[in-house]
Amino acid sequence: MAREVLGRCPVCGEELRVSKLSCSNCHTNIEGNFTLCKFCKLSSEQKNFLEAFIRNRGNIKEIEKDLGISYPTVRNKLEDVIEALGYKPRYNEPKVNRKEILKKLDEGEITSEEAIKLLKGE
């Protein structure tokens, strides 16, 4: 019975390497030092989320229903997978506090032009 390849060491958490490949048909063995694909390095939870993401064709509403989780949780899980695959998160910028900007505008602390720039994230 074949098992899924582990991507991370269960003891220290570091990336594992494959040292031997075997063909179950002709019994050929290949030994060396092989790296795992990016997806092998994902946790089971991340792989399950990715499968749901693909199954639902990236539709966030459908993923919410499928997994029984909220929109923010879907976004967080997606960002987690993106980072685990080695990509930088796109949404690390500080979020615009719209209420604070509008309050400052209302109180005359900033001009309407400044408020527009702040709301656009400039």
Q: Do residues 15 and 48 both lie within one domain?
A: no
DSSP assignment of 32-84: EEEPPPGGGGS-HHHHHHHHHHHHTTT-HHHHHHHHT--HHHHHHHHHHHHHH
pLDDT of residue 91 exceeding 70, the answer is no
Average pLDDT score over residue span 39-44: 88
pLDDT at 100: 84
Predicted confidence band at 69 (pLDDT cuts at 50, 70, 90)?
very high
Q: Do residues 47 and 33 both lie within one domain?
A: no
Average pLDDT score over residue span 34-63: 93
* Domain tally, the chain: 3
Q: Do residues 109 and 76 both lie within one domain?
A: no
Output the average pLDDT for the chain: 87
Predicted confidence band at 96 (pLDDT cuts at 50, 70, 90)?
low
pLDDT of residue 94 exceeding 60, the answer is no
Q: Do residues 50 and 18 both lie within one domain?
A: no
Q: What is the domain range of residue 97?
A: 92-122
Q: Do residues 1 and 26 both lie within one domain?
A: yes
Residue 57 Rama label (left phi>0; alpha psi -120 to 50; beta): left
- The single residue listed with the structure tokens 């408020």 is 115
Query: pTM for this structure?
Result: 0.60
Q: Do residues 67 and 47 both lie within one domain?
A: yes
